[in-house]
Homo-oligomer: A and B are copies of this chain.
Amino acid sequence: MKFTAEMIASMEKEARRRLINCLAGFKSANLIGTVSPDGIPNVAIFNSVIHLGADPALIGFIQRPASVERHTYENIKATGYYTINQVNKDIVKQAHQTSARYTREQSEFQHVGLTPYFMFNNPAPYVKESRLRVGCKFKGEIPIPYNDTILVVGEIMEIWSEQGIIQEDGFIDLVNAGAVAITGLDTYHPVNEGVRLRYAKPDLAPEEIEIKRW
């Protein structure tokens, strides 16, 4: 099947949005926790959190213009801090429900049934039900001029994980963390154990290396 640019442009709006949203492949599922200047804890799902670099340790996400997720962005700009909490299989429905348009005065935590968890050195709430959580400090924002989205960049302040998820060599066992992958805007997939391959060199055939379990 071929879809030309003209065919894509003439698609019904919701179908085109769904198609383009799915096109890059599987996405990460994260809950971003923030707090408003008047103390209301906010949590919202994002499927656009991405690795930006290891040294310095930076993580990014795409902020869409004028969306429901805007509370997250405004709280980050006002307070300078946020948390990124990996969604696991047990909290998929609660995580998805955070995308509903709650008002600024409503805490999604309370409405969807997730538990805010505060640590002393980050004013933003973590999600207690997540097994892998990252504390972030706002580093800066990069406007994407072609569609008025923003790449929000954060410095990694700290990482909290349950036992058995972060291994000695730094590998994170996302399967053991129960992490899910997202298609498009609404579909959440359990992920199977994978194959880990040796660092590739031109003169060596690909070879599996062991994924250690605790």
Contacts and interface: CB of A to CB of B under 8 A. Distances in A.
Task: Using C-beta atoms within 8 Å of the partner chain, give the interface range for chain A.
Answer: 35 or more
Given A100-B200, A194-B183, A146 B156 contact: no
A52 B149 contact: yes
A186 B199 CA distance: 7
A162 to B, nearest CB: 7
Contact of A191 (B16, B146, B192, B195): B192
The A interface is mostly helix, strand or loop, or mixed, namely mixed
A30 interface: yes
A192 to B, nearest CB: 5
A169 B15 contact: yes
B194 A189 contact: yes
A174 to B, nearest CB: 5
A8 B159 contact: yes
Contacts of A195: 92, 187-188
